[in-house]
Structure 1
Amino acid sequence: MTVEMSWFSALCDDDYEFLGVPDPDLASSFEHCRNIVLTADRYGYDNVLLPSGYALGIDNTAFAAGMASMTSMRMLLAVRCGELIVPQLARQVATLDQMMGGRLTINIISSDRPGEQLESEPRYRRSTEIMYCLRELLDGKPVDFHGEHVDLSVDPPRARTVSGRSPLFYFGGLSPAARECAARGADVFLMWPDTTDKVLAVKADMDARAAEYGRTLRYGWRSHVIVRETEDEARAAARRLLSRLDVETGEAIRKQSLDSTSAGVANQAALRESSDDEGYVERHLWTGVGRARSGAGAAIVGDPDQVHAKIEELIDAGIESFIFSGYPHAAECDLFARHVLGRIDHGALRFDPHPVAVV
């Protein structure tokens, strides 16, 4: 099966040689993040995630526009629901897609905005309404929608995507409200690292939820990776990454994120707590990254054969899209490409998505 292999550009200051030790040379800037993306593009990755943060790093939409003419792969732009009114967001997305020649994909984010605290259910209802209206407009349809969070009567923007259709919506979240939102509106449901049995359980639950709306989902995996020529070298690299981290610094880094109390983050914490003394919850799944990072907190660790075997195991479990990162991001991008990427049948995801179900 052909799967999508993507990398990550550290637009939110998430790049380290040693976790918890900021390095001015690795801080987010246009030049630094551009170099990560160009490295991934040169090695033939299919997509690159451009994350979004309010306090840290640089703006991902402006960055995507600047990178449009420099790259040939897709870009996965993180969009925070509620940050822009929907017609403006539709125009922005369509314009970026034109600049990229039809290579834009969208990562829907539902976290609070600064100064805002919404409970999980209304936040995800807002995301569902926004996904519905955004997709309708990008599909060239007028919108007459009067919901709890979006109240809108508007024609589609003159600016259209290259395909004339909405880009794919990638989405992650584990709470009941997040799962309901994904079932109604997502195209690709992203999971953070977990044991394979838990991945299968989440997939089964999401398949059933989506089927209730006459929809189907594709599935993705977002994690870090550490690959070296031998397993001992890979494990040594993992230990080195944590070698200068103290508990207080790690906790402070995790709390910076607006989603630091989400169900997904809690699940990553539980995964760490179930690991062995070195942080391994499975032989090749290491949870140490989560000691200094909110969000995806584990890495696939091993030699090229072991990392490849773990990816194939996840493919067999139904994962069709992988978004990897490593520390430092450009260096690990190079290592993963040379050791593993060429062994995988990969390409950009292409399918016709179902409409968003708003009832």
Structure 2
Amino acid sequence: MPQTTTTSTPCEVSWFSALCDDDYEFLGVPEPRLRSSWQHCRDIVLGAETGGFDRILLPSGYTLGLDTMAFAGGVAPLLRNIRLLTAIRCAELWPPQQARQLATLDQMTEGRLDINIISSDLPGETLESAPRYRRSLEYMHILRALLNGQAVETKGEFYQLAIDPPRLQGHGGKAPLFYFGGLSDAARETAAAAADVYLMWPDTLDKVAEVVADMRARAARYGRSLRFGYRVHVIVRETETEARIAANRLVSKLEGATGDQIRNRSLDAQTAGVLRQGELRQSADLDGYVEDHLWTGIGRARSGCGAAIVGDPDQVLAKLQAYQEIGMEAFVLSGYPHQAECDLFARHVLPRLNHAPLSRHG
């Protein structure tokens, strides 16, 4: 098999621990051995560290699987190199409490903690998109100040606080990186004003380039700059034929009603980003491919990130390089089952990427 040259431009490469009951051999067919448990999710994290990944995303769900922060605190002492990308939901906790929790984890990991900030409704709540993102923006500003060791005095629409500089702050007195995604206008403005890394879900190359250009312009209006990340599944095998067979096998037992139920159980099932994933599926060819090596079949049973890069090692590497060329500096990858696909990517592709974690000082 021909070997594509190792990438020269560095990027961050992360894997995903399935804390939210989202691990399958066959999509839509639950298996007890793959249910979210301390042992199973811990083993995914340890496998990602052994495989050489820079970071592990710990997702968040209210009714699904494990509590993210409790899991992060449990797994942190087991790790030596890999960084945690720990998801939090704005307004789930009172901001000063959330800041103290994050500062504690950041101290435990000696600065190897960053956060994926999610703007979503809380259980039993329905808040329109615009005010929900205004609340998230206030929340992010408060968190950053407290994690930077600064006093907070604010009289906002959602939070009215007067707090002295906290004793406990981010490791080295610096807040973790804020990863943030969202496709609506309100989400983009929030990211432009307060995020460090704008995290995108799968899309066609031209659409990704269009969003990157838009976000750079928005951030510039705030006197800021953004880095860009790309969240996507991967299915890599020694040949393209084998990879396509694996993709088809993954959805071979999926019934339409089951897929609908899985997609609709999420609190954010009707956001602009989720709707865009549906548009990709509708515009794909008969085999589910919306462009070369970008397969939308996973979105039949997943709310949110709903496409996979499918191919042999050269093809997967080339696809990632194409995203790098239009601005992606970080990749958050996953696959089914998560442990097995993590190992395959670590063996076939990761050694050929010039990769390192993004720095909060860079």
TM-score range, shorter chain: over 0.9
Partner residue in 2 for 1:356: none
Deviation at 1:283, TM superposition (A): 2.0
Q: Which residue does 1:6 correspond to in 2?
A: 14
Counterpart residue type for residue 152 of structure 1: L
Contact 1:128 1:181 in 2 (8 A): yes
Matches within 5 A, 1:89-128: 89-128=98-137
Partner of 2:192: 183
Distance 1:271 1:120 in 2: 22
Q: Distance in 2 between matches of 1:31 and 1:321?
A: 27
Q: How does 1:215-230 map to 2 (within 5 A)?
A: 215-230=224-239
Give the corresponding residue for 2:35. 27
> How do 1:183-262 and structure 2 match up within 5 A?
183-262=192-271
For these two proteins, the number of residue pairs brought into alignment is: 353
Amino acid at match of 1:30: W
How do 1:93-172 residues align onto structure 2 when only pairs under 5 Å count? Answer: 93-172=102-181
Uncovered stretches (5+) of structure 1, i.e. residues with no partner: 354-359
CA contact (8 A) 2:150 2:166 kept: no
SS in 1 for 2:328: coil
| 1:54 aligned residue | 62
Report what 1:82 is aligned to.
Answer: 91
CA distance in 2, matches of 1:148, 1:66: 35
Distance in 1 separating the partners of 2:58 and 2:129: 24
Contact 1:87 1:157 in 2 (8 A): no
Per-residue deviation at 1:352?
3.5
Distance 2:286 2:147 in 1: 50
**1:265/1:294 contact within 8 Å kept:** yes
Q: Which amino acid aligns with 1:284?
A: H
Are residue 43 (structure 1) and residue 51 (structure 2) matched? Answer: yes
State the identity as a percent. Answer: 64
SS state at 2:171 partner: coil
Contact 2:16 / 2:57 at 8 angstroms: preserved in 1? yes
Residue 289 of structure 1 aligns with which residue? 298
Find the residue that maps to 1:189 and give its secondary structure: strand
Q: Is the 8 A contact 1:65 1:96 kept in 2?
A: yes
> What is the TM-score when the length of structure 2 is the normalising length?
0.97
Query: Which 4+ runs in 1 deviate beyond 2 A?
Result: none
- Equivalent residue for 2:339, pick from 314, 330, 340: 330
The RMSD of aligned alpha carbons is 0.7
Q: Using the alignment, how far apart are the partners of 2:34 and 2:285 within structure 1?
A: 31
Determine the C-alpha separation between the residues in 1 that align with 2:261 and 2:170. 41
Q: Is the 8 A contact 2:149 2:170 kept in 1?
A: no
The structural deviation recorded for 1:160 is 2.1
Q: Distance in 2 between matches of 1:117 and 1:48?
A: 30
Q: Which secondary structure state, in structure 1, belongs to the residue aligned with residue 286 of structure 2? A: coil
Q: Which amino acid aligns with 2:34?
A: L
Is the Cα–Cα contact under 8 Å of residues 176 and 360 in structure 2 kept in the other structure? no
Superposed CA deviations along residues 41-87 of structure 1, whole A, max 9, x for unmatched, are: 00110000000000010001000001111112100010100011111
- The answer (yes or no) to whether the contact 1:138–1:156 under 8 Å persists in 2 is no
Q: In terms of mean alpha carbon deviation, does 152-161 or 73-82 score higher?
A: 152-161
SS at match of 1:105: strand
DSSP 3-state at the match of 1:148: coil
Distance 1:166 1:125 in 2: 21
What is the identity, as a one-letter code, of the residue corresponding to 2:280? L
Aligned to 2:285: 276
CA contact (8 A) 1:193 1:223 kept: yes
Cα distance in structure 2, aligned partners of 1:2 and 1:311: 12
State how far apart, in whole Å, the 1-side matches of 2:300 and 2:98 are: 35
Normalised by the length of structure 1, the TM-score is 0.97
Q: Distance in 2 between matches of 1:64 and 1:107?
A: 13
Name the counterpart of 1:15: 23
Could you tell me how far apart the structure 2 residues matched to 1:136 and 1:329 are? 36
Q: Distance in 2 between matches of 1:352 and 1:148?
A: 31
Cα shift at 1:351: 4.3
CA distance in 2 between partners of 1:90 and 1:146 (Å) = 18
Cα distance in 1, alignment partners of residues 310 and 101 from structure 2: 38
Q: Distance in 1 between matches of 2:247 and 2:181?
A: 26
Q: Contact conserved, 1:79 with 1:107, CA < 8 A, in 2? A: yes
1:173 is matched with 182
